[in-house]
Amino acid sequence: MDHVAQDGILQQESATALYFDGASSRRRVVRLVFGDALGISEDGAAPALWTYDDIRQVDSPAGVLRVSCLSAPALARLEIRDAALSAELTSRCARLGENRLDGRAVGKIVGWSLAAVASIVMVVLFAIPLAADRLAPLVPQAFERRIGEASEVQIKAIFGNQVCDRPAGQAAYVKLLGKLREAAGLDDTDVQSSVLSTEVPNAFALPGGKVYMFSGLLTKAENPDEIAGVLAHELGHLKHHDNMRGLIYNGGTSFLIGLLFGDVTGSSALIFASRSLVTASYSREAEQNADTVTIDVMHKLGRSPKPMGELLYRVTGKEGGRNLSILAGHPLTEDRLHRMSAEDHPASGPPLLTPEEWTALKAICGPAAVAKPRK
Amino acid sequence: MGRRDEFVRLVTRGAALELVTAGFYRFWLATDIRRHLWANTLIDGDAAEYTGRGRELLIGFLFALAILVPIYLVYFWIGIEVERFKEFASFPLILAFYAFGQFAIYRARRYRLTRTVWRGVRFWMDGSGWAYSWRAVLWGFFVVLTLGLALPWREAALERYKMRHSYYGDLQGDFTAKPSEFFKRAWGYWVAMPFALILFPLFPFVYAHFKATEWRWWLSGIRFGDVRVESTLPRNAFTGLYWKVIGWYMLASFALGIYFAVCAGVASLFTGGFAQSAGPDAIVKSVLFLVTTVIGYLALMLALNVVIRVYLLRDLWVTVLQHVQVHDIGAAANVAARGDLATALGEGFADGLDVAGF
């Protein structure tokens, strides 16, 4: 049962303990002498003296009291396996348990953690959006274009690299884009745009001024104003540097949230959820601002923004109730249609394209694209 | 081995505190778990001791963060530059992070080892994290090229490097297990794995058997001077543990399903259907829905964390210890103390890169 007894060295079992002096791994059976300080003596050698107030408990298995001493070598250990002797030593050492993480220490950890969380939330909600808004316009055009080129290569790899440029259609497209660009107050060098042949009905702007219109959206459009509204929306993104802002914002938040909180309690999915919540609200705001540009530009040209809302509605259908609206990166299509309809004035300017130009634009990818109307 | 209920209480309380502190408590929880396991691991009648502290891990993590931030920015910038020339050309950069992760694993092991004390003498480690890292990367390539068949050789080579740079006082470590031995015992699992992946209920059996084989081979190769370790772990030693975890997982998921059903029912009682109105009302509803989802999900994750730590950390370790014999321990009876403490920076990197062990 007891090591000490097995060793057979000792008669007075109650006063013996195991001692490791921290300089070697030798297991010493020692006698404890309770004087002014704790005396630890081994076979008549000069005893080590441990001041009671310096003695601290360290980890040990159940049934063993293991202590160290602040004024002794750091790894010197005394092990007592006898309950009475343990009690004797415990009663003399007032500060035995000071090593342990007590309730107050845990409370401190919790308090500081909450403070850290609050500060991170503040940074994510206020500081990063502010930084993104201020920094995005300062990013040099050349750098922005580089980022744009990088994503352009990827996008062409995904959607195919088929640029539509039948001359008549291209001329109409350039004319339409030119009018919108001027009305939006952007320079000629700011914008390059082309039509990509893919059935996906979409359009987007890349950092550095690249705007892509997918032929799928042309197929669904019924008049030039619909396409003009969408293009004006994308120009709005360029004007507000939304890509750079989004990049800085997304990069900042995911970096902060992800790296600081690490992957604990399997909460990475939770982090992902909360991050998409804040970034979605941020991008909804950007979309709304781009819609504002559409409204301004169309009014300036004497046309109505309403057709764009109608085109979007035709593409997406009613969105409310289908997904979680606060997770959506765009405002709901019906809300956008509603807003565009409210801004609907009777046309005061000339049509943006002649009927012939409109037909040519719809056929920019070849006649097949027109001949294949899709539901 | 220490009391199981004590460990269960420790990890349950730790999981709750992790939740309250948004994860910051993980440094102290990892420390508490190690302290419990170390203090209850007895070698030749004397228990080991873990002397690391949560505060050290936190500081190591903060330093690692300060170093990782610029690295992430450079990584981002290089990624953009190379993507301009060829799509998805930035993929090799992932390799750089893998190498960095291996470096972190080595340095984290060094921290843990220098906090491990037995009979008043600490273990310690030298060698270079980068030397280990490039070995790990090259062997990793080789393992991929051979579809995993070279795994025993990789493990033996890396373990040899780690153990030959590990010391107990002035006693140098070594690793003598033969990779061919591991291959002989484990090639069957390599053959069985594709079938196990298709016939899913087989998978835990195959995996648990493989793990037990690996542990046994690994432990039997460990040397410190003349001290030898031998393991007689049976192949089926872990099977029950893995099935218990799966059982708890299914039970918890089932409970979560019921919870969601009840929540949805209550919600529709209040509002008469979920998907009807739009506008601010819909937003309030989706916020409610999100909050209940998050609560349920968190509870599930916390419960599973407790289950995994109890079965796959503590119980697994207890099982391993029950089948270990240490021979010629007399060689460690009078070892002189040597070696310095390592910083927790490696643990910080491992945490920041998500390659942390326990």
What is the DSSP annotation of A84-132? HHHHHHHHH-TTGGGGS--HHHHHHHHHHHHHHHHHHHHIIIIIHHHHH
Q: How far is CA A38 from the centre of its chain?
A: 57
Q: Does B136 touch chain A (CB under 8 A)?
A: no
Q: How many CA atoms lie less than 13 Å away from A193 in the CB half-sphere?
A: 28
- Find all residues with CB under 8 Å of A29, minimum gap 6, and list them: A4, A7, A9, A10, A16, A17, A18, A19, A42
Per-residue tokens: B38: 């170390």
Per-residue tokens: A59: 């980890």
Phi, psi of A11 (to 5 degrees): -100, -45
The answer to whether residue B272 scores a pLDDT higher than 80 is no
Q: Does A25 touch chain B (CB under 8 A)?
A: yes
Rounded CA-CA distance A225/A350 in Å is 11
Q: Does B43 touch chain A (CB under 8 A)?
A: no
The answer to whether residue A47 scores a pLDDT higher than 90 is no
Average pLDDT over chain A, rounded to whole? 80
Mean pLDDT for B147-168 is 95
Q: How far is CA A262 from the centre of its chain?
A: 12
Q: What are the residue boundaries of the structural domains of chain A, listed by start?
A: 3-99, 115-371
Q: Assign A336 a pLDDT band (cuts: 50, 70, 90).
A: confident
Mean pLDDT for B97-120 is 92
Q: Are A252 and A132 in contact (CB under 8 A)?
A: yes
Average pLDDT over chain B, rounded to whole? 87
pLDDT, tens only, B228-248: 999 999 999 999 999 999 999
Q: Does A103 touch chain B (CB under 8 A)?
A: no
Query: What amino acid occupies position A338?
Result: H
Of B240, B193, B185, the C-alpha closest to B216 is: B185
Mean pLDDT for A169-178 is 90
pLDDT for res B88:
61
Q: Assign A78 a pLDDT band (cuts: 50, 70, 90).
A: very high
Lowest mean per-residue pLDDT among B81-95, B122-136, B212-226: B81-95
Mean pLDDT for B124-149 is 93
Nearest-by-CA chain B residue for A154: B87
Phi, psi of B266 (to 5 degrees): -60, -40
Q: Please list the residues that pair with B117 across neighbouring strands.
A: B49, B122
Rounded CA-CA distance B101/B349 in Å is 8
Nearest to B286 among A61, A273, A326 (CB): A326
Q: Is A347 helix (H, G, I), strand (E, B) or coil?
A: coil
Q: Assign A265 a pLDDT band (cuts: 50, 70, 90).
A: very low
Report CB contact under 8 Å: A270, B297: yes
Report CB contact under 8 Å: A267, B118: no
- Cα-trace Rg, chain B: 24
Of A248, A256, A288, A247, the C-alpha closest to A275 is: A256
Q: Are B61 and B131 in contact (CB under 8 A)?
A: no
pLDDT for res A326:
55
pLDDT for res A328:
63
pLDDT, tens only, A276-303: 666 667 778 888 888 898 899 888 888 8
For A199, A202, A330, A370, B153, the CA distances from A216, given in Å and listed in that order, are: 4, 7, 20, 10, 54
Query: What amino acid occupies position A9?
Result: I
Q: Name the percent of chain B lying above pLDDT 70.
A: 88
The answer to whether residue A349 scores a pLDDT higher than 50 is yes
Q: Is the dihedral of CA A181, A182, A186, A187 positive or negative?
A: positive
Query: What amino acid occupies position A313?
Result: Y
Using the structure block, give the residue that is written with the tokens 């509204």. Answer: A229
**Residue B328 backbone zone (phi > 0: left; psi -120 to 50: alpha; other: beta):** left
Contacts of B354 in chain A (CB under 8 A): 262-263
Nearest to B305 among A106, A147, A265 (CB): A265
E strand or H helix at A31, and its extent? strand A28-34
Nearest to A326 among B24, B119, B287 (CB): B287
Rounded CA-CA distance A275/B60 in Å is 26
Q: Does A6 touch chain B (CB under 8 A)?
A: no
Q: Does B355 touch chain A (CB under 8 A)?
A: no
Of A127, A262, A228, A187, the C-alpha closest to B104 is: A262
Q: Assign B113 a pLDDT band (cuts: 50, 70, 90).
A: very high
pLDDT for res B48:
94
Q: Assign A372 a pLDDT band (cuts: 50, 70, 90).
A: very low
- Asked if this assembly's ipTM is beyond 0.90, the reply is no
The answer to whether residue A370 scores a pLDDT higher than 90 is no
The answer to whether residue B104 scores a pLDDT higher than 50 is yes
The answer to whether residue A185 scores a pLDDT higher than 70 is yes
Q: Does B286 touch chain A (CB under 8 A)?
A: yes
CATH topology of domain A3-99: PH-domain like (2.30.29)
Q: Does B353 touch chain A (CB under 8 A)?
A: no
- Cα-trace Rg, chain A: 37
The answer to whether residue A308 scores a pLDDT higher than 50 is yes
Q: Is the dihedral of CA A25, A27, A30, A36 positive or negative?
A: positive
Q: Is the dihedral of CA B177, B180, B185, B187 positive or negative?
A: positive
Please tell me the distance in Å from A265's CA to the nearest CA on chain B: 6
pLDDT, tens only, A230-247: 889 888 888 888 888 887
For A81, A238, B78, the CA distances from A251, given in Å and listed in that order, are: 57, 19, 15
Rounded CA-CA distance B163/B203 in Å is 31
Q: Assign A7 a pLDDT band (cuts: 50, 70, 90).
A: very low
